[in-house]
């Protein structure tokens, strides 16, 4: 499917973390930097993203904190090192927002709720949700984008999943190739 919009510096990119930037751990959480593994072509994709989008943010549910199997300090260390690697590769992420609340709690920040997007809008008033894209790998990521009127891209190897998102991509580099 061809894009019916053109990306420029007035657009914002929202990225999920686990399954989009880094490898998900089966039935587990990334609890330390040693467990963090960038997905193939992610750093290359992030290097190009900054050339197209005015604002790039990560929005990530991190219930490992709520389950007390990791701390917010563990998460901040992971994110600090992730940002260092992204910057060393020539990429850019402007901010990372996370929600530590448990699935099933009435949480305004846990995707698909829009709390993290509202925090981003507070910090970056230029964000226009109608000129934003959400790239994620789960139904809650896509619903988050839909709830805000964003374009949605699903990271998947299953092209039949297109019914649940506007577009499907295999990774961040594939995403960039589609929006160029």
Catalytic machinery residues: 16, 18
Cα 108 to Cα 126: distance, rounded to the nearest angstrom:
22
- Spatial strand order in the sheet of 12-15: 95-99, 55-61, 12-15, 132-136, 151-155, 167-169
């Amino acid at each position: 499917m061809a894009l019916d919009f053109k990306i420029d510096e007035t657009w914002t990119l929202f990225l999920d973390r686990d399954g989009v930037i880094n490898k998900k751990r089966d039935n587990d959480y990334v609890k330390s930097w040693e467990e963090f593994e960038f997905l193939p072509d992610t750093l290359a994709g992030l290097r190009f993203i900054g050339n197209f989008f005015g604002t790039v943010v990560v929005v990530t549910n991190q219930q490992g904190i709520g389950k007390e199997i990791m701390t917010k300090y563990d998460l901040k260390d992971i994110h600090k090192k992730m940002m260092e690697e992204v910057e060393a590769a020539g990429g850019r992420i402007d901010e990372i927002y996370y929600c530590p609340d448990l699935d099933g709690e009435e949480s305004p920040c846990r995707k698909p709720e829009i709390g993290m997007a509202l925090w981003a809008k507070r910090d970056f008033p230029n964000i226009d949700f109608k000129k934003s894209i959400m790239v994620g790998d789960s139904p809650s990521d896509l619903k988050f984008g839909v709830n805000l009127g964003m374009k949605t891209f699903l990271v998947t190897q299953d092209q039949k999943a297109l019914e649940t998102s506007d577009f499907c991509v295999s990774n961040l580099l594939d995403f960039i190739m589609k929006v160029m």
